Amino acid sequence: MSDGNVRTALVTGITGQDGSYLAELLLARGYRVVGTTRATGTADTWRIRHLLSRVELLALDLRDGAAVRGVVARIAPHEVYHLAAASRVDRSWERPMESLEANAGSTVHLMDAVRHEAPRARIVVASSCEIFGRPEQAPQSECTPIRPASPYGVSKAAAYWLAANYRDSHGLHVASAILYNHESPRRGEAFVTRKISMGVARIACGQATTLTLGNLDGRRDWGFAGDYMDALWRMQQLEAPCDLVVGSGVAHSVRDFCERAFAVAGLDYRAHVASDDGLLRPVDATTLVADASLARERLEWGPTVDFGGLVEMMVFADLERVRSGAGV
């Protein structure tokens, strides 16, 4: 149980990119932060290594409804941030059931636990622009039809509708943040932006000569993860829950990211980047770009890091990692 004067936040997936930035934000605002993770070993906690003495970590299988309910009852959170997910779009084609269980199943268990054990808690579910799939218009807003184009998108769409169902049917204070691509130096290397920034660093340091990618023309709305976690916190402060699109509103291609990233290191991407059709997704979204005007209005929020600043941040961090031999 928490001190009556201190708000308790339960963060699923706290050891991921988003969880690490959210934990920093919550601690700075005086919260007691309890985070769930699949494992408590140091290999999983590198992003929050500097926070380990200030957060409470719990190993929890979010697919185990009874265990989730027990944690919620014991923690008695004021706010719940559901960030844990199987987040690889490409892998979802190979393991569709894993995506459904991790993303939709965990949401059911968490909603049900809060409903029974902490019904006054406020919940934000991290959704994804992948629920829109291949939209017919750009930008996309809260009114854009949900038509996912990948198993990952389907799983996130299911979680979105489950959250809405628990809000409408059981009166839970729950909202979905429809997040567009958000990156940082803490992004996993399996994601294209980090593949690029780390590839630039290795090439610049003489450890590689070529970076092989898939679709260079796919366009995405990229922002800084720390900014988007601030939006999630602001959503929790609204008196009435409201699903919101969160993004920068500016689209760039993978090619744009490459050009800017290599330029940071004084290199020409055209001399180093190759495209391999074998890395293409079975179905790839074309242009996903946010109309976040409602979030800007309701939350008094906006990005603090632009596209160029994000790319520079990631490349500089990976150059330092490669030069120091620090790995991740």
Q: What's the number of CA atoms in the CB half-sphere (13 Å) around residue 106?
A: 26
pTM of the model: 0.93
Q: Quick one: which of 328, 82, 270, 304 has its CA closest to 182?
A: 304
As a whole number of angstroms, the distance between CA 181 and CA 54 comes to 28
pLDDT(18) > 90: yes
Are 310 and 171 contained in the same domain?
Answer: no
Q: Would 296 be classed as within a structural domain?
A: no
The kind and range of the H/E element at 179 are strand 173-179
Are 148 and 114 contained in the same domain?
Answer: yes
Are 153 and 236 contained in the same domain?
Answer: yes
Tell me the average pLDDT across 234-259: 97
Are 80 and 207 contained in the same domain?
Answer: no
Average pLDDT taken over every residue of the chain: 92
Look up residue 211 and give its DSSP letter: E
Are 12 and 133 contained in the same domain?
Answer: yes
Q: Quick one: which of 136, 288, 151 has its CA closest to 222?
A: 288
pLDDT(149) > 60: yes
Are 87 and 211 contained in the same domain?
Answer: no
- Note down the domain range covering 239: 8-182+222-246
pLDDT for 97 equals: 75
Span 188-220, pLDDT tens digits: 998 999 999 999 999 999 999 999 998 899 889
Are 226 and 311 contained in the same domain?
Answer: no
Q: Is 57 strand, coil or helix?
A: strand
Are 28 and 109 contained in the same domain?
Answer: yes
User: Percentage of the chain with pLDDT > 70?
Assistant: 91
Least confident of 87-101, 254-268, 290-304: 87-101
pLDDT band at 1 (very low <50, low <70, confident <90, very high): very low
Q: Would 298 be classed as within a structural domain?
A: no
Active site residue ranges: 128, 130, 152
Tell me the average pLDDT across 285-298: 91
Tell me the average pLDDT across 147-174: 95
As a whole number of angstroms, the distance between CA 95 and CA 89 comes to 10
Tell me the average pLDDT across 229-255: 97
Q: Quick one: which of 26, 119, 39 has its CA closest to 72?
A: 119
Are 42 and 144 contained in the same domain?
Answer: yes
